[in-house]
Chains A and B, each alone.
Chain A
Amino acid sequence: MTRAFAKAALAAMWLISTPALAVQPDEVLPDPALEARAREISADLRCVVCRNESIDESNATVARDLRIFVRERIMMGDSNEQVIAEVVDRYGEYVLMRPPMSGSNLALWLAGPALLLLGFGVAFAFIRTRARSTNPTEAELTPDEQAALARILGDKQS
């Protein structure tokens, strides 16, 4: 039991990213513009063996290989989209940190705006009814109610 526990604890620890430098000096492209593009692409690609880290942040070997691959493709003249498509071909859409706006993922992207529109509609309708309402209870509390409120609020012993 202890050993199993220890193993589990150790496994959990190794899964935590070990913090370190991600991009190594020897990976950096000499042309700053191309390097900037490589960084931009890397931030959108997931390190497939890590927990929720992009290859730009991860120091796993796989991430390093992928970073080098991305830079090689850039040097060969691929566009950002081509590089990403190439990586998706190899690893599947799991590697994309930004889910593509297609198929079922549309629900993810549209859920927020749709709810906002709906909320606007409901809120607007509510505010209109409030504005039109000539609710008599808008008046101050009746003396009876006020006395009751004072009793409740002031009753510190209870």
Chain B
Amino acid sequence: MIVEIGHFALVLAFAVAVFQMIVPMIGAHKNWSAWMAVASPAASLQFALVAISFAALTYAFVTSDFSLNLVVANSHTDKPLLYKISGVWGNHEGSLLLWVLILALFGASAAWFGGNLPPRLRARVLAVQSSVGVAFYAFILFTSNPFLRLELPPFNGQDLNPLLQDPGLAFHPPFLYLGYVGLSMAFSFAVAALIEGRVDAAWARWVRPWTLAAWVFLTIGIGLGSWWAYYELGWGGFWFWDPVENASFMPWLIAAALLHSAIVVEKREALKSWTILLAILAFGFSLIGTFIVRSGIITSVHAFANDPERGMFILMILAVFMGGAFTLYAFRASAMEAKGVFSTVSRESGLVLNNLLLAVSSFVVFIGTIWPLVAEMFWGRTVSVGPPFFNAAFTPFAFAIAVALPIGAVLSWKRAQLGRAMRLMSGVALLTIALLGLFYALGTGRSLAGLITLALGVWLVAGAAVDLWQRTGQGREIAAKFGRLTRLPRADWGKALAHAGLGITFIGVGALVTYQIEDIRVAQIGEEFDVGAYHLTVRDVREVQGPNYISTMAFVEVAKDGRIVDLLTPEKRIYPVAGMPTTEAGIDSGFTRDVYVALGDPQLDGGWAVRTWIKPFANWIWGGAIIMALGGALSLTDRRYRVAAGAARDRAAIGVPAE
């Protein structure tokens, strides 16, 4: 019964979405205020209906209702509760339901918090947002219905893919989707603005928090996914340039560009049509990402769905929305006249460079991801494009962005002096070059690119600190400067934190690829061996029974300078229901290094294969992502957003450029 209510609610949500797509749009065109006004309650109702639908599916999973096809395929009574819940979105149908739930949530939020939007713009934004919903409701109901019943329910389910039974991955999809789908708001605002034919500072101020929020969620989602891959896939890699990872990385890069170009629109009324284009592209990449993941068209470790019919449907959604938006753009973009005048050296130019590098690097990831498809379609060549390509083609862009960032960040608006910015950063630059020289001279490094990444990380972090410090003004006493530091706008802190977070990730990546130590060996029980500065002892290997798996668990003691640091328990698990083995690494996480032990197969002549790594600064990779997200969140709580984009007197109060 509850399942049927959920199914019915989804159909109703579809109907409401169709209504919300059409009526407010006509109302806005004809200037009928009653027709425009229905958009907000419709958005709330739509969200409520999808929420009921999602709750019903969750209920079916939690109570293990095996009359549902989806529950049978992805659940089992022995599964811990957390994974019964995460099983809801650990599959194609359920994850799409989560997708539309978040889409409806963003639409409803625009209705709830968009009170200060001009009614006509709000009606159009909500109508466009709803049109995206219509496409995805249709996709779910016609090709991927999660509420299909079975005639003969089995006694138990087939369990969720054991790789997905993990806390990191349980929360990875919701964050990623919050990011993907959050970019739909930027898209809706862009399309609405194109229909209005008007983009101004106010528009940018409305669109920026949505983009920033989406970017924050994407950052967390990507970070969680990378962290999961690190500890779960068993060899401690953190990024594989897998199509599915790229699918989330492309919108992240474009969203980062969009955030920055929207600043220029907000403060200087320039780059308008470019910002609109980025907003369309950002959501386009989200749709492409959904297409790549859900169609399985590009083979990947993560592509769980492999269904051409569904792929075609998403491709059609992509074609309609991107085709429509670009057509509209072609007709209307010329109406977006730029106002701000700025000189060649200025913050504006710096942000143009930022946008250029981010957009082109995103394009490089895109072409690498789809190249196997293109090469096969046009030349009949079956080629692979793997990490070596991306490392070679993407890294120069990452370096260029990192080199330019701290200097661009301290340029002033309109007209800046490059000399002043250089002088500000000269100390940091010296530090960076000295460190690079020192590391190089010590010479234990495997890769020069890794060393440069490390040094650039230092450059970014120190550069962010200098940026914050110079905001306190010149020639004051140190104490007064510290006082001012605490009173700086949160957007300033957010900016510095986000930039420093990027640097911290650089440091983690650089240190890891340069200084990682690896050891592969057969170890008998009781055997002792050294890896780097650490002394490891294999104490025991035992069978352990888990809730829905059987584990072979090793007990490995890690010591340093005669003192025991940790007792690690790397495991090999077998999930009998899913019939699948997994590896659980034993990791001693530290601030400056991880000791990472993975257990391999038993050897014929006794003993076990054991693989050990010392991974320096590994946690900095995800720590940096967290700090980037924090920076974004802090910026989101800046006064000018809290005061609801403010009345005239607020405008005067925040007249100081808060960047």
The judgment on whether A and B are partners is yes
Which of A's residues lie within 8 Å of B, judged by CB?
A: 2, 5-6, 8-10, 12-14, 16-26, 28, 43-44, 46, 50-54, 57, 92-99, 103-105, 108-109, 111-112, 115-116, 119-120, 123, 126-128, 130-131, 133-135, 137-138, 146, 149-150, 152-158
| A52–B578 touching, CB < 8 Å | no
Bound Cα distance from A73 to B341, whole angstroms:
64
| A20–B386 touching, CB < 8 Å | no
Bound Cα distance from A94 to B349, whole angstroms:
42
Bound Cα distance from A112 to B450, whole angstroms:
22
Bound Cα distance from A120 to B651, whole angstroms:
35
| A5–B349 touching, CB < 8 Å | no
| A95–B384 touching, CB < 8 Å | yes
Q: What chain B residues lie within 8 Å of A157 (beta carbons)? A: 115
| B386–A24 touching, CB < 8 Å | no
Q: How far is the CB of A36 from chain B (nearest CB, A)?
A: 8
| A120–B356 touching, CB < 8 Å | yes
Q: What chain A residues lie within 8 Å of B363 (beta carbons)? A: 111-112, 115
Q: What chain B residues lie within 8 Å of A149 (beta carbons)? A: 202
| B601–A99 touching, CB < 8 Å | no
A20 touching B383 in the complex, CB below 8 Å, given contacts A111-B363, A158-B118: no
A46 touching B384 in the complex, CB below 8 Å, given contacts A112-B364, A133-B341, A153-B645: yes
| B609–A24 touching, CB < 8 Å | yes
A112 touching B393 in the complex, CB below 8 Å, given contacts A21-B520, A51-B303, A93-B381: yes
Q: How far is the CB of B316 from chain A (nearest CB, A)?
A: 23
| A21–B386 touching, CB < 8 Å | no
Q: Interface 1/0s, chain B 580-600, versus A by CB < 8 A?
A: 111100000000000000101
Q: What chain B residues lie within 8 Å of A8 (beta carbons)? A: 306
A96 touching B582 in the complex, CB below 8 Å, given contacts A5-B69, A52-B242, A155-B116: no
Contact check: which of A6, A57, A99, A133 meets B235 at CB < 8 Å?
Answer: A57
Q: How far is the CB of B471 from chain A (nearest CB, A)?
A: 24
A138 touching B341 in the complex, CB below 8 Å, given contacts A20-B234, A112-B393, A152-B118: yes
Q: How far is the CB of A28 from chain B (nearest CB, A)?
A: 6
Most buried by B among A22, A130, A135, A149: A130
Q: What chain A residues lie within 8 Å of B583 (beta carbons)? A: 19-20
| A13–B341 touching, CB < 8 Å | no
Q: Interface 1/0s, chain B 149-173, versus A by CB < 8 A?
A: 0101010001001010000000000
Bound Cα distance from A108 to B582, whole angstroms:
36
Q: What chain B residues lie within 8 Å of A103 (beta carbons)? A: 379, 381
Q: Interface 1/0s, chain B 324-367, versus A by CB < 8 A?
A: 00000000000000111111100011001100110111011001
A2 touching B72 in the complex, CB below 8 Å, given contacts A21-B601, A131-B344: yes
| A21–B341 touching, CB < 8 Å | no
Contact check: which of A57, A130, A153 meets B646 at CB < 8 Å?
Answer: A153
Q: How far is the CB of A152 from chain B (nearest CB, A)?
A: 6
Bound Cα distance from A119 to B150, whole angstroms:
55
Q: What chain B residues lie within 8 Å of A17 (beta carbons)? A: 233, 301
| B341–A97 touching, CB < 8 Å | no
| A21–B611 touching, CB < 8 Å | yes
B300 contacts partner chain A, Cβ-Cβ < 8 Å: yes
Contact check: which of B73, B393, B645 meets A6 at CB < 8 Å?
Answer: B73
Q: How far is the CB of A30 from chain B (nearest CB, A)?
A: 12
| A130–B341 touching, CB < 8 Å | yes
| A119–B359 touching, CB < 8 Å | yes
| A158–B300 touching, CB < 8 Å | no
A-B pairs, top 9 by smallest CB distance, nearest first, are: A97-B386, A21-B600, A98-B388, A19-B234, A154-B647, A112-B364, A150-B648, A94-B382, A19-B233
| B382–A20 touching, CB < 8 Å | no
Bound Cα distance from A131 to B581, whole angstroms:
63
Q: Interface 1/0s, chain B 37-49, versus A by CB < 8 A?
A: 0000000000000
The chain B residue sitting closest to A135, CB to CB, is B341
| A99–B117 touching, CB < 8 Å | no
Bound Cα distance from A25 to B262, whole angstroms:
54
| A25–B609 touching, CB < 8 Å | yes
A153 touching B344 in the complex, CB below 8 Å, given contacts A52-B299, A119-B360: no
